Amino acid sequence: MIDDRVAVDAGSLAMAASDLQREQIRDVVLTHAHLDHIAGLPMYIDDLFATTTEPVRIFATREVVEVLERDIFNWSVYPRFRELTNDYGPVMEYREFKPGCVFQAGHLRFRAVGVNHKVPSFGFIISDGSRSIALTGDTAETKEFWEAANTTPDLAALLVECAFPDELEELAMSSHHFTPRRLAAELKKCDAEVPVYVVNMKPMYRDRIVEQLGKTASRVQVIEPGRVYEW
């Protein structure tokens, strides 16, 4: 969550959002449609259904919208919220974006950059007008993302994924994720001298990943859940 106002992905949004965040967040930007990135979305909208005075805006590609409508908001798993209203009006709406485009979500400007994952997925260059951060989302080795990050003059931080430990490299490669060893090699593509933070670690392997990152990718820090970061 950024500035308690915009969420990037929604895997645990319904469970992790504070009261302030629940009151303020109406813009949710999705990198892709895997369950660990969308699981909290229907429950979040459900919680807000009766009280929200504006729709929750879901920013996603056409492919992701189609998955949500077919598999989640389909009246069998969850209501099709885009068809429903409360006393104030619509409760959910889609805002589709295309690869390479720039769009506004809340007070932030997003540039969508295609990355290398098992399904169509996007990283983002995110700006508040004074500084930017770059977020890979789920990915393996990629090119376009680094070209975008390296040409962002006000880049303040880089957030990268690292899902599996080195001993599960075959699994990581087949599912298009990083291990510490491969992430260390990938970071050589980054020209910017900015803090690097690791996100999206598989919880079961977190301790092992952190240990290996300390040996092979010493420039990175691991994001701590619940901590506020300012860049």
- Tens of pLDDT, residues 79-98: 999 999 999 999 999 999 99
54-79, pLDDT tens digit by residue? Answer: 999 999 999 999 999 999 999 999 99
What mean pLDDT, rounded, does the chain reach?
Answer: 96
**Lowest pLDDT segment from 127-131, 147-151, 227-231:** 227-231
- pLDDT score for 216: 85
- Domain locations along the chain: 1-96, 98-223
CA-CA distances (angstroms) from residue 90 to 34, 69, 118, 146? 26, 16, 33, 38
Average pLDDT over residues 133-143: 97
Which helix (H) or strand (E) segment is 59 a member of? strand 56-60
Pairing of strands 196-199, 27-29: unpaired
Q: Please tell me the distance from the alpha carbon of residue 11 to that of residue 27, in angstroms, as a whole number.
A: 14
Q: What are phi and psi of 173, to 5 degrees?
A: -65, -40
- pLDDT score for 226: 85
Tokens in use for 53?
């005075």
Average pLDDT over residues 153-180: 97
Q: What whole-number percentage of the chain has pLDDT above 70?
A: 100
- pLDDT score for 219: 81
Helices of type H across 68-205: 144-150, 169-174, 180-186
217 pLDDT more than 80? no
Can you name the CATH fold of 98-223?
Metallo-beta-lactamase; Chain A (3.60.15)
139 pLDDT more than 90? yes
Tokens in use for 182?
């491969």
150 pLDDT more than 90? yes
Question: Identical fold at 1-96 and 98-223?
Answer: yes
- pLDDT score for 221: 94
Please provide the CATH number assigned to the domain covering 1-96: 3.60.15.10
Q: Please tell me the distance from the alpha carbon of residue 150 to that of residue 211, in angstroms, as a whole number.
A: 28
- pLDDT score for 225: 85
Q: Please tell me the distance from the alpha carbon of residue 143 to that of residue 102, in angstroms, as a whole number.
A: 19
At 115, the amino acid letter reads V
194-214, pLDDT tens digit by residue? Answer: 999 999 999 999 999 999 999
Residues belonging to the chain: 231
Burial class (CB in 10 A: 0-12, 13-18, 19+), 110: buried
